[in-house]
């Protein structure tokens, strides 16, 4: 166990707030209220149900927000939360059809064409069995894949390849066990496919003397998230923690002034995940929920957004790392409020060394890149070294990076990870396995006569942004990609201005930003008049920027930031664009 | 060389409504032709749906929309504006054909 290097409190300073609901938080809030039998307490049930149902795409899956691709996580959260609210979940046949597209032959991936991981497999087995009521594609192969998650020390890893490297985590244990349990309901063999005594012992060994659990032997502090996942996995296997009473008492101690829960000892915000995990822990322990139900329900009610859905704490105080980074980057250089950067630096919390969208919920590659681009940790060598160590541990066996620990690799995260290494002044080859990273990037190439096209994951449709991100990343790995970049830009250039992610008709802000960034990196000329025409079209009367010519008004702080940076780059050719990406 | 006459604006409005009804469903039936579709339909007329509607209008009338030069947020915000945009575009095409 390594020493705690940061104060485990919520960030101080000045975080930027959007007041928007979040799917992750909405699921946690609804699920917790359902466990407490308090879904009748939902303040805006119709709006929240509309928020959840509105994430549904035409392909039958659900997305984190309208316009994004369907993924396994969002699909489970939306359908499960609607079910918990007692609302109809429509079109489940189409949802089951979408799930089939994510089946790899052994397990489920987060997106069609991506490699499978246990996060996605858990969500999709449960969606298929518990929500859609469909049979498993191949229960035998699924169970064999789940069996291969067990590493030499008894714990489960994120993938079989990861397990062979000895990377076990209580979250992977929980997801593997719950996926198996759902598979049993669909007819799979009822005998757990692991060395159960070894798995139970590994899980029990994560409990500390204080009563809480850690994610892994390397984790810094026990936390509510790890505790719920460990206790939940043990319960599903028919076991209990080595000291169940100490676990219950530790959980009950971690309450704030309102009586709701905090994430770990010393943390000072009673957020939605802490209560979700604490109530889940108490349920798994068989402890009574009545003593905490009123306080938790009242606290969660305070997280509801007027437009429906929930965020992680009171909407007026629910700052996030992307909006805060955007506020810094959008400001005139040197004139951003230093409190914004201080808040971002406070997002580096125990157990994982990066920055997450909302503090206290792990670390995420893209958010860490935005925070670094905004100047966070500039003078903090210790914090920067911690990010490097975290990032190095995140590289998947296929050479790529996913959004966060255990997630399957994708192009956006892999390119962002390499940009982080560069921003931190480290040598790419010393932090990541450069050969493996190159192999992942090449695995995303799509059949194309010129070898230009890449998808976001190995089996995805080719897009401009994935191609340009691949070219940027390959350049950081030492390959000259400028010719390919020039050809790809020509293919997706929209006649009137800007660039389109698919084809060459409808330009959008993310693609146009990525195009200018890629051209600059490749040393290619930028047609400033062409980009200015696009910016004029997506500019709003209030000075904001829309995501596309079709979007109704400003896209919010992230779009406004990208629009400002792009305009600044057109005015000042030396104003290098930061390598910001979202998708 | 003869050209196809440009349909009257009322005819265009009727055809635009039929095109949109096929994509927007029952909720669209009660929306007046001068009503802002985003306000009337909320998330049902977001940018993805608007894109589908524009493509459908292009296909129905054989016109092409330029997403940068044409102010699509304005011209595709109501049925009346769509009909007017289509009318102008068909008139331009007819004039071009006559000039050949």
Q: Summarize pLDDT for A495-534 with one digit per residue, the tens.
A: 999 999 999 999 999 999 999 999 999 999 999 999 999 9
Tell me what the mean pLDDT of segment A152-175 comes to: 97
Q: Do A66 and B69 touch (CB under 8 A)?
A: no
Q: Do B67 and A494 touch (CB under 8 A)?
A: yes
**pLDDT of A311-333, one tens digit each?**
999 999 999 999 999 999 999 99
Token match 């608007």: residue? B50
Q: CB of A350 within 8 A of CB of A8?
A: yes
User: Cα(A463)–Cα(A503) distance, rounded to whole angstroms?
Assistant: 8
In a domain, A474, yes or no: no
In a domain, A296, yes or no: yes
Instruction: Spell out which residues of chain B touch residue A54, defining contact as CB-CB under 8 Å.
Output: 43
pTM of the model: 0.94
Helix (H, G, I), strand (E, B) or coil at A541: coil
Q: Do B68 and A497 touch (CB under 8 A)?
A: yes
**pLDDT of A225-274, one tens digit each?**
999 999 999 999 999 999 999 999 999 999 999 999 999 999 999 999 99
Residue A536's closest chain B neighbor by CA?
B68
Residue A80 pLDDT greater than 80, yes or no: yes
In a domain, A519, yes or no: no
Q: Which of A312, A223, A213, A205 is nearest to A265 (CA)?
A: A223
* Region for A377 from its dihedrals, namely left if φ exceeds 0, alpha if ψ lies in -120 to 50, beta otherwise: left
Task: Specify whether A117 is located in the same domain as A240.
Answer: no
Instruction: Spell out which residues of chain A touch residue B47, defining contact as CB-CB under 8 Å.
Output: 67, 547-548, 550-552
Q: CB of A241 within 8 A of CB of A204?
A: yes
CA-based nearest distance B15→chain A, Å: 22
User: Cα(A263)–Cα(A271) distance, rounded to whole angstroms?
Assistant: 8
In a domain, A94, yes or no: yes
Instruction: At A364, give phi and psi (nearest 5°).
Output: -135, 140
Helix (H, G, I), strand (E, B) or coil at A261: strand
Task: Specify whether A151 is located in the same domain as A215.
Answer: no
Q: Do B46 and A549 touch (CB under 8 A)?
A: no
Q: Domain spanning B9-99: which superfamily?
A: ACP-like (1.10.1200.10)
Q: Is the dihedral of CA B4, B9, B14, B19 positive or negative?
A: positive
Residues 6 or more apart whose CB falls under 8 angstroms from that of A238 comprise none
Residues of chain A by 3-state class (helix, strand, coil), percent to 5: 50, 5, 45
Q: Which domain holds residue A296?
A: 206-312
Task: Specify whether A73 is located in the same domain as A127.
Answer: yes
CA-based nearest distance B99→chain A, Å: 25
Q: Do A550 and B43 touch (CB under 8 A)?
A: no
CA-based nearest distance B54→chain A, Å: 10
**pLDDT of B74-99, one tens digit each?**
999 999 999 999 999 999 988 887 77
Residues of chain A with a CB closer than 8 angstroms to some CB in chain B: 50, 54, 66-67, 494-498, 505-507, 533-534, 537, 546-552
Q: Do B68 and A547 touch (CB under 8 A)?
A: no
Task: Specify whether A62 is located in the same domain as A195.
Answer: yes
User: Cα(A498)–Cα(A138) distance, rounded to whole angstroms?
Assistant: 45
Residue B2 pLDDT greater than 80, yes or no: no
CA-based nearest distance B73→chain A, Å: 5
User: Interior CA angle at A114 toward A113 and A119, to 5°?
Assistant: 135
Task: Specify whether A147 is located in the same domain as A286.
Answer: no
Q: Which of B43, B50, B69 sits opposite A550 (nearest CB)?
A: B50
Q: CB of A568 within 8 A of CB of A533?
A: no
User: Cα(A294)–Cα(A314) distance, rounded to whole angstroms?
Assistant: 17
**pLDDT of A346-400, one tens digit each?**
999 889 999 999 987 889 999 999 999 999 999 999 999 999 999 999 999 999 9
In a domain, A112, yes or no: yes
Residue A5 pLDDT greater than 50, yes or no: no
* Amino acid A226: pLDDT: 98
Instruction: Spell out which residues of chain B touch residue A507, defining contact as CB-CB under 8 Å.
Output: 67-68
Interface test with A, best of B73, B76, B78 (most A CBs within 10 A): B73
Residues 6 or more apart whose CB falls under 8 angstroms from that of A437 comprise A395, A399, A400, A414, A418, A473, A477
CA dihedral A506, A512, A514, A518 (to 10 degrees): 110
Instruction: At A149, give phi and psi (nearest 5°).
Output: -75, -15
**pLDDT of A427-458, one tens digit each?**
999 999 999 999 999 999 998 767 679 999 99
Q: Do A495 and B68 touch (CB under 8 A)?
A: yes
Q: Do A507 and B38 touch (CB under 8 A)?
A: no
Task: Specify whether A131 is located in the same domain as A170.
Answer: yes
Task: Specify whether A219 is located in the same domain as A306.
Answer: yes
Q: Which of A50, A496, A551 sits opposite B68 (nearest CB)?
A: A496
**pLDDT of B8-28, one tens digit each?**
999 999 999 999 999 998 889
What is the enclosing helix (H) or strand (E) of A454? strand A454-455
Task: Specify whether A226 is located in the same domain as A144.
Answer: no
Q: Which of B43, B51, B69 sits opposite A550 (nearest CB)?
A: B51
Q: Do B67 and A495 touch (CB under 8 A)?
A: no
Name the domain boundary from A202, A227, A247. Answer: A202
Name the domain boundary from A312, A327, A362. Answer: A312
CA-based nearest distance A530→chain B, Å: 10
If one counts every other C-beta atom within 10 angstroms of the C-beta of residue A378, the result is: 12
Q: CB of A11 within 8 A of CB of A347?
A: yes
Residues of chain B with a CB closer than 8 angstroms to some CB in chain A: 38, 43, 46-48, 50-51, 54, 66-69, 71-73, 76
CA-based nearest distance A38→chain B, Å: 29
Whichever domain contains A185, its CATH number is: 1.50.10.20
Token match 């992307």: residue? A322
In a domain, A256, yes or no: yes
User: Cα(A270)–Cα(A301) distance, rounded to whole angstroms?
Assistant: 12
* Amino acid A66: pLDDT: 78
Q: Do B47 and A548 touch (CB under 8 A)?
A: yes
Task: Specify whether A184 is located in the same domain as A249.
Answer: no
Q: Do A67 and B47 touch (CB under 8 A)?
A: yes
User: Cα(A243)–Cα(A260) distance, rounded to whole angstroms?
Assistant: 23
Name the domain boundary from A169, A202, A235. Answer: A202
User: Cα(A457)–Cα(A414) distance, rounded to whole angstroms?
Assistant: 10
Q: CB of A372 within 8 A of CB of A423?
A: yes
Residues 6 or more apart whose CB falls under 8 angstroms from that of A465 comprise A412, A456, A501, A510, A511, A514, A581, A583
Residue A176 pLDDT greater than 60, yes or no: yes
Tell me what the mean pLDDT of segment A159-176 comes to: 97
Interface test with B, best of A47, A498, A506 (most B CBs within 10 A): A506
Instruction: Spell out which residues of chain A touch residue B46, defining contact as CB-CB under 8 Å.
Output: 66-67, 552
Q: Which of B43, B46, B73 sits opposite A549 (nearest CB)?
A: B73
User: Cα(A6)–Cα(A220) distance, rounded to whole angstroms?
Assistant: 10
Instruction: At A44, give phi and psi (nearest 5°).
Output: -125, 65
* Amino acid A10: pLDDT: 87
Provide the token pair at A529: 């008049």
* Amino acid A3: pLDDT: 33
CA distances from residue A145 to A180, A276, A386, A440 in whole angstroms, order as listed: 10, 29, 33, 22
pLDDT > 90 fraction of chain A, expressed in percent and rounded:
92
Task: Specify whether A103 is located in the same domain as A226.
Answer: no
Interface test with A, best of B50, B68, B70, B71 (most A CBs within 10 A): B68
Chains A & B: contacts with CB separation below 8 Å: 50
Q: Do B46 and A497 touch (CB under 8 A)?
A: no
Look at chain A and report how many structural domains it folds into. 2
CA-based nearest distance B66→chain A, Å: 7
Report DSSP state, residue A207.
B
Residues 6 or more apart whose CB falls under 8 angstroms from that of A403 comprise A364, A365, A366, A410, A413
Interface test with B, best of A505, A549, A551 (most B CBs within 10 A): A549
Residue B44's closest chain A neighbor by CA?
A54
Residue A507's closest chain B neighbor by CA?
B67
pLDDT band at A7 (very low <50, low <70, confident <90, very high): very low
Q: Do B47 and A497 touch (CB under 8 A)?
A: no
User: Cα(A6)–Cα(A349) distance, rounded to whole angstroms?
Assistant: 6
If one counts every other C-beta atom within 10 angstroms of the C-beta of residue A475, the result is: 17
Q: Which of A231, A242, A241, A313 is nearest to A280 (CA)?
A: A231
**Alpha helices, H only, A165-271:** 170-185, 196-204, 224-236, 244-253
CA-based nearest distance B46→chain A, Å: 7
The DSSP result for A45-65, as a single string, is: HHHHHHHHHTTB-TTS-B-SS
Q: CB of A166 within 8 A of CB of A153?
A: yes
Provide the token pair at A466: 């994935």
Q: Which of A167, A271, A158, A287 is nearest to A231 (CA)?
A: A287
Task: Specify whether A116 is located in the same domain as A212.
Answer: no
As beta bridge partners, residue A2 has: none
Interface test with B, best of A47, A51, A68, A505 (most B CBs within 10 A): A505
Task: Specify whether A85 is located in the same domain as A194.
Answer: yes
Supply the mean pLDDT for chain A.
95
Residues 6 or more apart whose CB falls under 8 angstroms from that of A247 comprise A207, A211, A212, A213, A227, A231, A241, A281, A285
* Amino acid A573: pLDDT: 87
Instruction: Spell out which residues of chain B touch residue A50, defining contact as CB-CB under 8 Å.
Output: 43
């Amino acid at each position: 166990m390594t020493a705690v290097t940061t104060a485990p409190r919520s960030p101080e300073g000045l975080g930027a707030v959007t007041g928007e609901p979040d799917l992750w938080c909405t699921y946690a809030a609804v699920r917790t209220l359902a466990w407490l039998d308090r879904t009748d307490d939902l303040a805006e049930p119709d709006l929240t149900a509309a928020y959840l149902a509105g994430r549904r795409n035409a392909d039958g899956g659900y997305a984190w927000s309208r316009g994004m691709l369907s993924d396994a996580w969002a699909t489970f959260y939306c359908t499960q939360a609607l079910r918990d609210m007692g609302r109809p979940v429509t079109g489940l046949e189409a949802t089951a059809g979408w799930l089939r597209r994510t089946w790899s032959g052994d397990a489920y991936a987060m997106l069609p064409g991506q490699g499978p991981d246990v996060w996605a497999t858990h969500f999709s087995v449960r969606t298929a069995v518990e929500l859609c009521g469909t049979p498993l594609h191949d229960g035998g192969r699924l169970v064999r894949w789940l069996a291969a998650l067990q590493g030499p020390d008894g714990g489960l890893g994120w993938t079989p390849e990861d397990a062979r490297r000895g990377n076990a985590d209580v979250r992977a244990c929980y997801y593997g066990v719950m996926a198996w349990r759902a598979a049993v309901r669909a007819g799979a063999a009822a005998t757990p496919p692991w060395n159960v005594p070894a798995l139970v012992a590994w899980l029990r060994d994560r409990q500390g003397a204080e009563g809480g659990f850690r994610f892994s032997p390397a984790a810094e502090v026990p936390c509510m998230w790890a505790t719920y996942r460990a206790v939940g996995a043990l319960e599903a296997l028919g076991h209990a923690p080595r000291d169940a009473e100490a676990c219950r008492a530790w959980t009950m101690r971690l309450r704030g002034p309102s009586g709701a829960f905090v994430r770990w000892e010393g943390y000072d915000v009673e957020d939605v995940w802490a209560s979700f995990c604490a109530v889940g822990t108490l349920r798994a322990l068989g402890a009574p929920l009545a003593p905490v139900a009123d306080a938790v329900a009242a606290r969660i009610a305070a997280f509801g957004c007027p437009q429906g859905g929930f965020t992680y704490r009171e909407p007026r105080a629910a700052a996030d790392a992307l909006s805060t980074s955007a506020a810094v980057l959008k400001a005139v250089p040197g004139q951003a409020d230093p409190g914004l950067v201080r808040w971002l630096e406070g997002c580096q919390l125990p157990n994982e060394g990066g920055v997450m969208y909302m503090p206290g919920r792990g670390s995420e590659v893209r958010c860490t890149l935005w925070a670094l681009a905004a100047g966070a940790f500039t003078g903090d060598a210790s914090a920067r070294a911690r990010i490097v160590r975290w990032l190095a541990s995140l590289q998947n066996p296929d050479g790529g990076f996913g959004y966060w620990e255990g997630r399957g690799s994708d192009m956006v995260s892999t390119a962002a990870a390499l940009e982080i290494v560069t921003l931190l002044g480290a040598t790419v080859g010393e932090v990541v396995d450069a050969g493996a990273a190159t192999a992942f990037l090449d695995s995303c190439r799509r059949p194309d006569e010129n070898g230009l096209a890449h998808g976001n994951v190995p089996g995805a449709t080719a897009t401009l942004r994935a191609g340009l991100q691949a070219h940027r990343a390959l350049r950081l790995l030492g390959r000259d990609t400028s010719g390919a970049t020039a050809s790809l830009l020509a293919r997706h250039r929209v006649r009137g201005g800007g660039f389109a992610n698919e084809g060459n008709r409808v330009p959008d802000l993310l693609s146009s930003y990525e195009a200018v960034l890629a051209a600059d990196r490749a040393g290619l000329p930028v047609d400033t008049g062409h980009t200015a025409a696009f910016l004029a079209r997506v500019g709003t009367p209030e000075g904001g920027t829309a995501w596309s010519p079709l979007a109704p008004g400003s896209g919010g702080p992230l779009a406004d930031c990208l629009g400002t940076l792009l305009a600044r780059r057109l005015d000042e050719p030396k104003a290098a664009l930061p390598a910001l990406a979202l998708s | 060389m003869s050209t196809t006459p440009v349909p009257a604006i009322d005819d265009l409005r009727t055809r635009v409504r039929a095109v949109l009804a096929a994509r927007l469903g029952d909720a669209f039936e009660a929306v007046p032709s001068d009503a802002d579709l985003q306000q009337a339909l909320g998330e049902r007329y977001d940018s993805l749906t608007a894109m589908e509607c524009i493509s459908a209008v292009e296909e129905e009338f054989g016109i092409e929309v330029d997403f940068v030069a044409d102010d699509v947020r304005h011209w595709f915000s109501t049925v009346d504006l769509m009909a007017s945009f289509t009318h102008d575009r068909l008139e331009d095409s007819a004039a071009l054909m006559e000039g050949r």
